[in-house]
């Protein structure tokens, strides 16, 4: 081993460079100079030193870290912008909920008859002077209360009229009759009649009979819907309209 011609150092690395001043000295066991073809001494050309890769590795790591930070920042900014900015799809309020109307409750037959009714048509049969006559009238009032009492009101007089040949018969009732009633299915059952008034029979305008007003007990069939009521007995049928509840 020979000393460095620059600094005199005797330590060289594996590539032949002085470890003190990094001057190329020559690899161990190799002379520092050689002679050319003319016999002149020529310094040995120092081989190119392999570049140190450590700085490149460090630079690569730094660049990778920088790119990673930039990517994270970009993603964070995108997410922030996405959250901060309104959606491109316009938000619409949900349609208002419209409450479905409850179906109208249909009253029971017993509930339907409760109220005040006016007779628009009465047709019945009666035997007078040995003849069976068909009598008709309008205007009587029937008041059904929810407590099971009904009043048949003739007021100052309701006349039922009928004819046999050329003879006209009239049956005029005044006052009122009070009953107890009960609705069973499609029938109204009447009981405990109590009259307050009179009934007068006339033939061609001449009175032929007069009795205290009374009522018959029994059952009649009926239909009731809204403001219309129909009653059917063995000898009569009555149509009524509601005038009050």
Query: What is the pLDDT, as a whole number, of residue 36?
Result: 47
Query: What is the pLDDT, as a whole number, of residue 84?
Result: 46
Q: Which domains, from first to last, does the chain contain?
A: 1-64 (no CATH), 111-244 (2.40.160)
Query: What is the pLDDT, as a whole number, of residue 149?
Result: 98
- Rg value, the chain, Cα: 63
For residues 222-242, give the mean pLDDT.
97
* Residue bearing the bigger pLDDT, 210 or 101: 210
9-13, 101-105, 161-165, 169-173, range with the lowest pLDDT: 9-13
Range list of H helices, 17-175: 54-84, 109-113
Identify the three-state secondary structure at position 146.
coil
One-letter-per-residue 3-state SS of 10-40: CCECCCCEECCCCCECCCCCCCCEEECCCCC
Query: What is the pLDDT, as a whole number, of residue 12?
Result: 78
Query: What is the pLDDT, as a whole number, of residue 38?
Result: 43
pLDDT tens for residues 43-72? 545 455 555 555 555 566 766 666 665 555
Query: What is the pLDDT, as a whole number, of residue 15?
Result: 76
Contacts of 120 (CB under 8 A, 6+ apart): 138, 239, 240, 241
* Residue bearing the bigger pLDDT, 30 or 206: 206
pLDDT tens for residues 117-160? 999 999 999 999 999 999 999 999 999 999 999 999 999 999 99
Is the whole model's pTM more than 0.95, yes or no? no
């Amino acid at each position: 081993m020979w000393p460095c011609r620059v600094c005199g150092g005797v330590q060289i690395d594996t590539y032949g460079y002085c470890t003190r001043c990094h001057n190329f000295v020559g690899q161990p066991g190799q002379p520092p100079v050689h002679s050319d073809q003319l016999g002149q001494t020529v310094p040995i050309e120092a081989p190119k030193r392999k570049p140190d890769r450590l700085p490149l590795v460090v630079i690569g790591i730094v660049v990778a870290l920088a790119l990673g930070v930039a990517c994270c920042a970009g993603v964070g900014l995108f997410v922030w912008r996405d959250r901060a900015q309104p959606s491109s799809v316009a938000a619409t309020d949900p349609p208002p909920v419209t409450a479905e109307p409850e179906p109208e409750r249909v009253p029971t037959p017993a509930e339907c008859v409760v109220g005040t009714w006016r007779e628009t048509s009465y047709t019945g049969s009666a035997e007078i002077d040995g003849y069976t006559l068909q009598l008709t009238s309008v205007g009587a009032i029937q008041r059904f209360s929810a407590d099971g009492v009904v009043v048949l009101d003739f007021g100052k007089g309701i006349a039922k009229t009928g004819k046999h040949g050329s003879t006209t018969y009239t049956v005029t009732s005044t006052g009122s009759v009070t009953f107890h009633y009960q609705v069973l299915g499609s029938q109204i059952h009447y009981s405990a009649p109590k009259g307050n008034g009179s009934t007068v029979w006339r033939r061609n305008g001449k009175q032929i009979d007069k009795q205290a007003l009374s009522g018959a007990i029994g059952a009649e069939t009926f239909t009731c819907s809204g403001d219309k009521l129909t009653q059917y007995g063995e000898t009569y049928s009555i149509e009524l309209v509601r005038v009050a509840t």
